């Protein structure tokens, strides 16, 4: 079954060199701006409660549960912020069970950073500055654009994602030629995800960076809601050539709101038949006792950035050994 | 009943869709970073040959299709059915015109074909990639003209009509690529 060429790396030596140069450039970018590089555990007792992220469980030598591999270093990095370490960054491997595809690998390299005193708009500018440093100029032939979630749906599908009734979203999917899977039912966010991934995202970031902000409040994740329009969250994503590169938040600091979101996510996990996971009590205590400073944070998919820099068509071409060779 | 999760999707996997056996041509995993994951799949209906696109929620399961690709020898046609035999077990199956489709025009007795069986019955037949067939009809050849690049139609012994170089004559044996329907070369007897 196993093809005999599997021992070879998926990435060429030239690409591995480019990857190393881009890693060095990323560290230089943060060093110049005075961010502190940190390391946090990949294996921890708590896990992300998000129904959209599945953590690998790790067994101890005696068969007991040793913990969960992190899906991002967000929680311990926030504990560091609450402990007063100032702006920080980390470059690490994160692990997401079940994510395997052209632009997905269950083990991925994240560049995650937090900026004390910044909001998501200021952080979007910094993300663009880093990407301009990392990507060859010919990949960014037009200036970056910053559009709202509402606007990108309006342009691609002529629907308002914040207001349109479910029937209108379903009709938009049909018009776009999507045969929707059974079981989306009344899950409005699942319909929005279907439309985004199939009909909106492929057109985003053509010829240059597209920042999308103002995600629906129901998809806030760990972002704060817009105080002037609670229908939307202070969350953004960055796209280039239809590929999502980063996701960022003006971070939620309110411990009670954070606890409520964890609990809501655990209920959603139960409804979807997903296993329960332990909530990060240390994070909640950090938010209560230390207090999260006003900050914005973002996670950048480094493998994808290398892929787009190199003009690759999948992650196997830019990783030494992607999951199929691991 | 056997089933496959979307995690097992890969090209070539045989699944049931809307009551028909299908094969997965292409499987793309798409997922908004913080959202629902989907498998966007191109699927060929093995009965009609049509390729359609379908989206599944990642983690969903679909019924497996009991489909087997097997190498069999074409033995004869009785006018309504094409009969094939397994070269080792000598088991025989009869394929309908619908299962043969376009393949019928390339089949010569004793050729080894790939026969796709669904629940034991043939639903499609692929001829060998290359076949050698005799020309039964074509305009008179232009001797010596081996380089002009012009072509003319020629009818082969199985009924297939292909474009051939001008120098080809009735009675010659030709090697043909059945996937493109293109002439490759003359074959010496």
Query: Is the pLDDT assigned to residue A133 strictly greater than 70?
Result: yes
Residue A1, pLDDT score: 53
Cα distance between residue A240 and residue A205, in whole Å: 4
- Contact between B32 and A177 using a beta-carbon 8 Å cutoff: no
pLDDT higher at A225 or B98: A225
Whether the CB-CB separation of A96 and A53 falls below 8 Å is answered with yes
Tell me if the pTM is above 0.90. Answer: no
- Residues B57, A181: C-beta atoms closer than 8 Å: yes
Q: Verify that B32 and B19 share a domain, yes or no.
A: yes
Query: Given a cut of 60, is residue B145 above it in pLDDT?
Result: no
Q: B126, B150, B175 — which closes off a domain?
A: B126
User: Running DSSP on this structure, what letter comes out for residue B10?
Assistant: -
Q: Dump pLDDT digits (tens) for A276-304.
A: 999 999 999 999 999 999 999 999 999 99
Domain ranges of chain A: 4-140+239-325
Least Cα separation, residue A13 to chain B (angstroms):
27
Share of chain A above pLDDT 70, in %: 99
Angstrom distance (rounded) from CA B94 to CA B116: 12
| Same domain (yes/no): B7, B31 | yes
**Which tokens sit at B168?**
């080809």
Q: What is the pLDDT of residue B148?
A: 61
Kindly report the nearest CA distance between residue A223 and chain B, in angstroms: 12
Chain center to CA of B111: 14
pLDDT at A128 over 70: yes
Beta-carbon-side half-sphere exposure of residue A127 (alpha carbons within 13 Å)? 37
Question: Above pLDDT 90, what percent of chain A?
Answer: 96
Q: Do residues B151 and B175 share a domain? A: yes
User: B58 to chain A: nearest residue by CA?
Assistant: A98
Of B63, B83, B98, the position where a domain reaches its end is B63
Alpha carbon separation from A54 to A95, A162, A273, A277, A296 (Å, rounded): 9, 27, 12, 10, 24
A203 to chain B, closest Cα gap in Å: 14
For an interface test with B, give the residue of A56, A72, A98, A170 to mutate (most B CBs within 10 A).
Answer: A98
Residue B143, pLDDT score: 62
- Of the candidate ranges A31-40, A245-254, B136-145, B149-158, the one whose mean pLDDT is the lowest: B136-145
Closest CA to A246 of A206, A271, A212: A212
> In this complex, do B38 and A201 lie within 8 Å of one another by their Cβ atoms?
no
- pLDDT at site A3: 59
Is B40 close to A198, i.e. CB distance below 8 A? yes
Contact (Cβ atoms closer than 8 angstroms) between residue B116 and residue B97: no
The CATH number assigned to the domain holding B147 equals 2.40.50.140
Predicted pLDDT of residue A288: 97
Residues of A in contact with B58 (CB under 8 A): 98
Query: What is the pLDDT, as a whole number, of residue B29?
Result: 95
Quote the mean pLDDT of chain A: 96
Distance from CA of B54 to the nearest CA of A (A): 6
With contact defined as beta carbons under 8 Å apart, do A300 and A110 qualify?
Answer: yes
- Whether residues A193 and B36 touch (CB distance < 8 A) is answered with yes
Domain boundary among B107, B126, B145: B126
ipTM of the complex: 0.89
- DSSP letters, A46-99, are -----TT--PPEEE-TTSSEEEEE-SSSHHHHHHHHHTT--SEEEEEEEE-TT-
Domain of residue B84 covers 67-126
Check residue B33 and give its pLDDT: 81
pLDDT score of A4 more than 70: no
CATH number of the domain to which B15 belongs: 2.30.30.30
Check CB contact under 8 Å for A198 and B28: no
Residue among A99, A104, A219 minimizing CB distance to B35: A219
Provide the pLDDT for residue B101. Answer: 86
Residue B57: C-alpha distances to residues A10, B51, B63 (Å)? 28, 20, 15
Grade residue A214 by pLDDT with cuts at 50, 70 and 90: very high
Tell me which fold the domain A4-140+239-325 belongs to: BirA Bifunctional Protein; domain 2 (3.30.930)
Sort out which chain B residues have CB atoms less than 8 A from A53's CB and list them: 34
The nearest alpha carbon in chain B to A96 belongs to B33
In which band, very low, low, confident or very high, does the pLDDT at A254 lie, cut at 50, 70 and 90?
very high
Q: Provide the shortest C-alpha distance from residue A17 to chain B (in Å).
A: 28
The structural domain count of chain B equals: 3
Q: Does residue B71 sit in the same domain as residue B20?
A: no
Answer whether residue B147 shows pLDDT above 70.
Answer: no
Query: What are the tokens at B117?
Result: 């069986």
Compute the distance between CA of residue A315 and CA of residue A304 in angstroms, rounded to an integer: 7
């Amino acid at each position: 079954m196993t093809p005999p060429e599997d021992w070879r790396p998926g990435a060429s030596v030239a690409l591995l060199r480019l990857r190393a140069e881009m890693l060095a450039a990323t560290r230089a970018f943060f060093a110049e701006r005075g961010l502190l590089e940190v390391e946090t555990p990949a294996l921890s007792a708590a896990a992300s409660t998000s129904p959209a992220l599945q953590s690998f469980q790790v067994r101890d030598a005696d068969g007991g549960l040793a913990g969960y591999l992190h899906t991002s270093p967000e929680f311990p990095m926030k504990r560091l912020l609450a402990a007063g370490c100032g702006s920080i960054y980390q470059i690490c491997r994160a692990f997401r069970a079940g994510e395997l595809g052209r632009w997905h690998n269950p083990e991925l390299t994240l560049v995650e950073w937090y900026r004390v005193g910044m909001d998501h708009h200021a952080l979007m500018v910094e993300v663009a500055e880093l990407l301009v440093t990392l990507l060859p100029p010919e990949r960014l032939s037009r200036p970056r654009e910053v559009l709202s979630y509402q606007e990108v749906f309006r342009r691609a599908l002529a629907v308002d994602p914040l207001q349109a009734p479910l029937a209108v979203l379903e009709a938009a999917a049909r018009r776009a030629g999507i045969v929707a899977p059974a079981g989306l039912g009344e899950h409005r966010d699942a319909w929005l995800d279907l439309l985004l991934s199939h009909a909106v995202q492929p057109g985003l970031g053509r010829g240059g960076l597209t920042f999308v902000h103002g995600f629906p409040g129901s998809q806030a994740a760990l972002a704060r809601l817009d105080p002037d329009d609670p229908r939307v969250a202070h969350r953004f994503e960055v796209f280039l050539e239809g590929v999502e590169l980063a996701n960022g938040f003006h971070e939620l600091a309110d411990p009670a709101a954070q606890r409520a979101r964890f609990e809501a996510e655990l209920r959603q996990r139960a409804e979807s038949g997903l296993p329960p996971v332990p909530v990060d009590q240390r994070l909640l205590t950090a938010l209560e006792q230390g207090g999260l400073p006003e900050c914005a944070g973002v996670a950048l998919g480094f493998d994808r950035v290398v892929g787009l820099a190199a003009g690759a068509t999948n992650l196997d071409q830019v990783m030494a050994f992607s999951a199929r060779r691991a | 009943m056997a089933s496959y999760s979307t995690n097992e999707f890969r090209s070539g996997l045989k699944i049931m869709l809307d009551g028909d056996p299908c094969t997965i041509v292409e499987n793309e995993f798409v997922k908004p970073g913080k959202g629902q994951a989907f498998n966007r799949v191109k699927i060929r209906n093995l009965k009609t040959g049509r390729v359609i696109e379908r989206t599944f929620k990642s983690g969903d399961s679909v019924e497996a299709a009991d489909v087997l690709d097997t190498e069999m020898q074409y033995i004869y046609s009785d006018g309504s059915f094409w009969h094939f035999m397994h070269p080792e077990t000598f088991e025989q199956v009869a394929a309908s015109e619908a299962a043969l489709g376009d393949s019928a025009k390339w089949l010569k007795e004793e050729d080894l074909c790939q026969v796709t069986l669904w629940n034991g019955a043939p639903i499609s037949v692929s001829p060998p990639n290359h076949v050698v067939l005799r020309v039964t009809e074509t305009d008179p050849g232009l001797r010596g003209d081996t380089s002009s690049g012009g072509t003319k139609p020629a009818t082969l012994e199985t009924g297939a009509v292909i474009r051939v170089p001008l120098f080809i004559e009735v009675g010659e044996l030709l090697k043909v690529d059945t996937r493109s329907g293109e002439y490759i070369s003359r074959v010496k007897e």
